[in-house]
Amino acid sequence: MNRDLPAGRNYVWRLLKLRLRTEFEIRDKLKFKNFSAALIDELIAYFKEKGHINDRKFANFWIEGRLNKPLGFKAIERELESKGLSIELVQELISLKKKEVDEVSLARELTQRQFNKLKERKEPAEKIKPKLYGYLTRRGFSHETISEIITEL
């Protein structure tokens, strides 16, 4: 048995103990620690077989957490793609979640909180709309959603 195998398993366990991770993230971390490609494949296969590396499960967990922040679907999509998930998987899960979650309601609630903060700070009226637009854009909401909410204001 390769003596790096136990070290690799321990390392992956430590990574997974902190939070769920994608296969891409685990591979990246193992490469950074100079594990061989063959050993990385063996470790990934082992943890996938045990159900500890599951990109679909990770993506669902990530989407739920980020919607609670709340972030818009565009921002969540970018984050998941940066974690090495396939565009197809990300788009599939986002489209499923869009059927359950009303992005406009999320953005409306967030806008109201931010609007109240800006009013408390006595921001000039002409600066409020651009600040809200920028804030919602940075939070990953679509331009259509933002326009709808800003118009409501």
How many angstroms from the chain centroid is the CA of residue 124? 34
Two tokens, residue 54: 């599951």
Amino acid, res. 108: R
CA distance 122 to 141: 25
3-state SS, 21-51, equals CCHHHHHHHHHHCCCCHHHHHHHHHHHHHCC
| 118-138 confidence digits (pLDDT tens) | 889 888 888 999 999 999 999
Location of structure tokens 């408390």: 120
Topology match between the domains 4-49 and 103-152: yes
Task: Using the structure block, give the residue that is written with the tokens 């409306």.
Answer: 108
In angstroms, rounded to a whole number, what is the distance separating the alpha carbons of residues 7 and 96? 39
What pTM was computed for the model?
0.84
Does pLDDT of 1 surpass 60?
A: no
pLDDT value at 2 more than 60? no
pLDDT tens readout for residues 51-108: 999 999 999 999 999 999 899 999 999 999 999 999 999 999 999 999 999 999 999 9
- The position carrying tokens 């669902």 is 60
pLDDT given at position 52: 96
Of the options 2.20.25, 1.10.530, 1.10.10, 1.25.40, the CATH number for the domain spanning 4-49: 1.10.10
pLDDT of the residue at 125 = 82
CA atoms within 13 A on the CB side of 66: 22
* Cα–Cα dist 124/114, whole Å: 14
Are the C-beta atoms of residues 110 and 136 closer than 8 Å to each other? Answer: yes
Residue extents of the structural domains in the chain: 4-49, 55-100, 103-152
Average pLDDT over residues 7-29: 96
Confidence of residue 152 (pLDDT cuts 50, 70, 90): confident
Average pLDDT, the chain: 93
Please state which architecture CATH assigns to domain 103-152: Orthogonal Bundle (1.10)
